[in-house]
């Protein structure tokens, strides 16, 4: 089985991963060169030791399979020697998910992120068979993505325990917001938990999570690493201070959603990644002002003078 380059005992996918946006050019087409530049920036300068490519924040619902493969190959080429590259491969079609998983393996991915099938609302047995089938399809380690706010159906504790018996299902990205359920799974299985909800990163660490799959890691990955380091060293006061210092960033993200926030925040920090694809719209002028203000409150250095000027005129 493939081993992720930043894996350590108990951390099969590394520590701080960002769910990377997909850069588009002015015509809305995939910009592979910019994707490589962004991946390098996130790994070498922002503190991430892993990236999730073709996830929801990467606008996977609106990118083609061909675009997904091109993007993944580009990111692996750019940072795959020093960061874990996890490919989003989950859909609400098991056969298609298997195809995406196999394509990701051929493209050089180190692992798979497989989301709960959405819209179909399958029963728990359907979830079990879906995840098991995808995990059987490749030699890559799998991170399950439990996000009932989008998929409606949660992965129940008993189902997660059963899935933990698969040799390649190693972790859970949790966006279920249920620390009790996660604690029960961690206490009775070897599944590693990664917080998939940035405002809950510190609470998840307190019950045993080993890292993050983050959106705000696009601009504050270094702070997330500092919070994780402080918590693990027993310096809970510092961990809490870092968490509190990130409150404006959490607020900005929650105000517009992950994709719009991340692409706007990167632009404000001097990194243009294009606009989202519909049905996600570009940030409005008011949203840009609010995000700018929140990032300033969090102490980020913004290099986009136009956005900064808009805030000073409020």
Residue 79 marked in a binding site: no
Residue 238 marked in a binding site: no
Judged by DSSP in three states, 150 sits in helix
Cβ atoms of residues 303 and 271 within 8 Å: no
193 is catalytic: no
176 is catalytic: no
What string of H, E and C letters represents the secondary structure of 234-259? Answer: CCHHHHHHHHHHCHHHHHHHHHHCHH
How far is Cα 296 from Cα 139, in angstroms, rounded to an integer? 44
Give the active site residue among 145, 194, 250, 271.
145
| 279 prior amide bond cis, ω within 30 | yes
How far is Cα 147 from Cα 154, in angstroms, rounded to an integer? 7
How far is Cα 197 from Cα 175, in angstroms, rounded to an integer? 5
Give the active site residue among 68, 118, 173, 176.
173
* Residue whose pair of structure tokens reads 């859909």 in the numeric block: 91
Neighbours of 196 (CB within 10 A): 29
Neighbours of 116 (CB within 10 A): 25
Residue numbers in the known binding site are: 57, 213
Which positions are catalytic?
145, 173
Residue numbers in the known binding site for pyruvate are: 57, 213
């Amino acid at each position: 089985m493939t081993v992720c380059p930043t894996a350590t005992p108990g951390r099969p996918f590394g520590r701080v991963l960002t769910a990377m946006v997909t850069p588009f050019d002015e015509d809305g087409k995939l910009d592979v060169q910019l994707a490589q530049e962004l991946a390098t920036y996130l790994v070498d300068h922002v503190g991430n030791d892993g990236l999730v490519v073709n996830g929801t924040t990467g606008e996977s619902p609106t990118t083609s399979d061909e675009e997904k493969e091109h993007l993944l190959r580009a990111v692996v080429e750019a940072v795959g020697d020093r960061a874990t590259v996890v490919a989003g491969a989950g859909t609400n079609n098991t056969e298609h998910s298997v195809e995406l998983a196999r394509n990701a393996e051929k493209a050089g991915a180190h692992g798979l992120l497989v989301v709960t099938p959405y819209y179909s609302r399958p029963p728990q047995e359907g979830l079990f068979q879906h995840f098991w089938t995808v995990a059987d399809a490749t030699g890559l380690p799998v991170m399950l993505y439990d996000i009932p706010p989008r998929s409606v159906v949660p992965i129940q504790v008993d189902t997660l325990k059963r899935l933990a018996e698969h040799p390649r299902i190693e972790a859970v990205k949790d966006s279920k917001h249920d620390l009790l359920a996660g604690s029960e799974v961690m206490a009775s299985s070897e599944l590693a938990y990664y917080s998939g909800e940035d405002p809950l990163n510190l609470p998840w660490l307190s019950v045993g999570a080993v890292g993050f799959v983050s959106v705000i890691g696009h601009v504050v990955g270094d702070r997330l690493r500092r919070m994780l380091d402080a918590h693990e060293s027993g310096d809970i006061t510092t961990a809490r201070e870092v968490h509190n210092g990130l409150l404006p960033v959490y607020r900005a993200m929650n105000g517009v959603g992950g994709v719009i926030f991340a692409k706007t925040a990167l632009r404000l920090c001097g990194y243009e990644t294009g606009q989202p694809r519909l049905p996600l719209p570009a940030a409005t002028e008011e949203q840009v002002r609010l995000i700018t203000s929140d990032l300033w409150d969090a102490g980020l250095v913004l290099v986009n003078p136009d956005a900064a000027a808009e805030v000073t005129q409020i």
